Amino acid sequence: MTINTTHILDPRDFGALVDGTTNDGPAIQAAIDAANANGGGHVTLAGGTFLAGTIKLKSNVTLEVAESATLLASPDINDYAADVHHNRYRNEAALDRCFIYAEDQHDVALVGRGTIDGNATAFPNEGSIYRPMLIRLLRCRNVHVENLRLVEAAAWTTAFLDSEYIWIHGVDIKNDKRYNGDGLDFDGSAHVFISDCYVRGTDDNFCLQSSSKQYPVHDIHVTNCEFSGVCAGIRIGLKSIGDIYNVSISNCTLNRVWREGIKLECTEGGSITDVSISNIVMRDVTRPVFAVLNNRFELDDYGTSIELDHMPEIGTMERISISNLTATDSAEMANVHRRFTDDVMGEPRFAGIRFDAADGHPIEDVTLDGLRYTFVGGVKLADIPPLEEYPRLVDKLAEPGVRSSENYWPDWSRTAFMDLRNVHGLDLNRIRLRSLRPDERHAVLLDGCETVTDPDVTVNGERL
């Protein structure tokens, strides 16, 4: 017979030590290990600030941070374990420690109405191993994260790697003090259910990536969430060696996102297919939609997967539906927006809706239906190079020794609203575009596109 053991850790267990200055991690880990050894149980932190380094979650154990408690990350890097798996970006090898970790575990829960605080300001801002992630799970199954406040991670807030059956509900994430302030990141994970969350950070708010063919990313459900951040609100890809499919995102709002609202990047040989994004409202988002299909390999530069060691063949992107999206700029969007002091994220000439695919590798079967985009406008032709000098995003491979195409280059757009290239099976319906100020660029360009029906597109009240 299995004994269900309950451990409630409060100041009486520690005397005067639960004060945020003494390492309570060993006692918390001992309680988790004891519950696991007895077949499962519930460990509750209550009534104080519990300081700890790396805590390892175990199967059949729920760790609860009660509303009266804060679990605070230790500022001492020596309190963090080194055996917590590698980060999968070449340029972020230093982000290799983490606060809460689980590997090869099942039926794991992290719940409560308390706070898990990553103590971000205790660590350097970038480029150092002294920046532990908040939560990282590797090859775990049946995971629940519910109702917690996850704040001020020194790097990413969460990373769910090669895991499946994950439920995240009612989580409040605020991670805006340091670089790499991602919110909810999934790589190689499947059967994911996310609802009723708020995410604010300095990088991607919600991110799906696929580092290998072994663990495809599929059956992802996101609803009733609010995103606010510096890079992408919703990001699918960049790391795309494997396949990403069966993704449904609905009923979400995005506020003050200085780069892309919805970003799809298939750049490492895999595929992104069968994606439905609907009922989305954006306010002050620089580039509402951005999709690119190319091949991209930079051995020692930004974003390249550790698992990728060669220029990949171009993959596929198809069956993408984006419907009932409203994006509205205020006068604020006339400004240049930066991350911290000098890292430019967006400005009016960078804005718009863009799809771009390599010649001979079109993005297939795209529906854009019910889009209403009010852009701040105001860009003059003198502010950008002549149209004939516009470099293709996917063709920056001509220089000897250059083996990559940079997905963010150039930092300006040739159209005010929509630039769609090499999209086959394109259906544009109920597209309403309006600018707050006159803009001298083309409003819409369809380059190498094959449309399913006559486009229903209106610009400033006039049908194209």
Residue 251 carries which side chain, given as an amino acid letter? N
Residue 27 carries which side chain, given as an amino acid letter? A
Distances (CA, A) of 291 to 23, 42, 384: 46, 44, 22
Domain range for 345 is: 5-463
pLDDT of residue 87: 82
pLDDT of residue 307: 82
pLDDT of residue 386: 78
Residue 319 contacts by C-beta under 8 Å, 6 or more apart in sequence? 273, 274, 275, 364, 365
CB 334 within 8 A of CB 378: yes
pLDDT of residue 404: 44
pLDDT of residue 15: 44
The C-alpha angle with vertex 75 and arms to 69 and 77, in degrees rounded to 5, equals: 125
CB 73 within 8 A of CB 119: yes
CB 253 within 8 A of CB 224: no
Dihedral angle sign, alpha carbons of residues 393, 397, 403, 409: negative
Distance CA 193, CA 351 (A): 31
Neighbours of 104 (CB within 10 A): 12
CATH of the domain at 213: 2.160.20.10
Q: How would you write the pLDDT of the chain (464 residues) with one tens digit per residue?
A: 233 457 776 555 554 455 667 899 999 999 999 999 999 999 999 999 999 999 999 999 999 999 999 999 999 999 999 999 878 887 777 788 999 999 999 999 999 999 999 999 999 888 777 899 999 999 999 999 999 999 999 999 999 999 999 999 999 999 999 989 999 999 999 999 999 999 999 999 999 999 999 999 999 999 999 999 999 999 999 899 999 999 999 999 999 999 999 999 998 999 999 999 999 999 999 999 999 998 877 665 556 788 887 878 899 999 999 999 999 999 999 999 998 888 889 999 999 999 999 889 999 999 999 999 999 999 999 988 876 666 666 555 444 444 444 566 677 888 999 999 999 999 999 999 999 999 999 999 999 999 998 999 999 999 98
Burial class of residue 438 in the structure, from the number of CB atoms within 10 Å of its CB (0-12 exposed, 13-18 middle, 19+ buried) = exposed
pLDDT of residue 11: 53
Distance CA 109, CA 23 (A): 23
The count of structural domains within the chain is 1
Query: How do beta strands 149-151 and 115-117 pair?
Result: parallel
Global pTM reads 0.94
pLDDT of residue 2: 31
CB 226 within 8 A of CB 198: yes
Take residue 210 and report the two structure tokens written for it: 């696929």
